[in-house]
Amino acid sequence: MAFFSVVIPLYNKENFIAKTLKSVLAQTFSDFEVVIVNDVSTDSSLSIAQNFVDSRIKIISHPKNKGLSASRNTGIKNASADYVAFLDADDLWKPEFLKTIHILISKYPEAGSFATKYEEVYPENTIIPSFDLQLEKNMGIIEFYRSNLNQSIYYPSCLCVRKEVFKKAGYYNEMITFGEDIDLNIRLYQHFKLAYCDKPLVSYTMDSQNQITRSGITNKILTDFDKYESIAKNRLDIKRYLDFNRYFIAKLYRMEGNMAGYKKMIKGIDMKNLNYKQRILLILPGFLLKLVSKVKMRLLKRGIVVNSYD
């Protein structure tokens, strides 16, 4: 049995999947299997994946399109290893990613999940590293909720989870069509610790061929933050995490002109959990938020990071 099962959901990523698979096969830690879950791709993604000849690769195809959450769940349930590492089909791992996760597992056996820092890759190969947590020797157990009140410390492609953890935390919610990882995180870190490496070992693609944010979120199904309020009553760290994500979603709704969605999100926010920049941004009209977003993106492409988190 392999040490890791690498789960790759695949849907219409013909321009990326070859490089993604090559990054897995180039890992310095080679005791793994690859579980590709084809979610009824309509382009050449599946045929490209099938061209890779390696006994560690197996491909599972859904009979109908089920979405990203269902694809990850299919991968988890068909994983033979005790540790499940996730990789989206348009992201890349550095060669030492799995080796580093293996070190985290060895050093922090009390943790239920393991992750590394990442770098954001924009068009024209502009690369922006995520922020530095300043961990001693670049590794340690961290408080997930407190560390995620700003830029995400990891994306799904950075994450490895002990398979048995899903029995208690639950699987991905297959009803959610935007931000499904947020919902899982809320449940995951109520019970389990996160071991983290503060080195950027994942290249996260910020401009893919089917990024969900391009089509907006008004018709998407999101995390029901309200159902977690009962848990957050005695957990200020969870409450702040809920409110930060409400803030993020509220801005997207405002930019789309969805005032009903915007009002619903801000209704649940305790404004004490936001800084003054965030409170100001929440009351800006949608056209100004769009302008701020465009300016921020232009600066990012020049390597300049501006945000409302400090």
Beta strands in 111-266 (DSSP E): 113-122, 126-129, 139-142, 159-162, 194-205
Instruction: Write b or e for each residue in 12-51: b if 16 or more Cβ atoms lie within 10 A of its Cβ, otherwise e.
Output: bbbebbbebbebbeebebeebbbbbbbbebeeebbebbee
pLDDT in tens, 28-84: 999 999 999 999 999 999 999 999 999 999 999 999 999 999 999 999 999 999 999
pLDDT score, position 122: 78
pLDDT score, position 305: 66
Q: Which 8-state DSSP code applies to residue 132?
A: P
Q: Where are the domains of the chain?
A: 4-212, 224-301
pLDDT score, position 293: 84
Q: Which CATH class is domain 4-212?
A: alpha beta
pLDDT score, position 209: 42
Q: Give the Cα separation of 219 and 198 in Å (integer).
A: 36
The proportion of the chain whose per-residue pLDDT surpasses 90, expressed as a percent, equals 81
Tell me the CA distances in angstroms from 94 to 26, 49, 196, one per residue in order: 8, 20, 16
Q: How far apart are the first and last CA of the chain?
A: 45
What's the average model confidence in pLDDT over 236-257? 96
In this model, does residue 235 exceed pLDDT 90? Answer: yes
pLDDT in tens, 186-229: 999 999 999 999 999 999 988 644 444 456 899 999 999 999 99
**pLDDT class of 125 with cuts at 50, 70, 90:** low
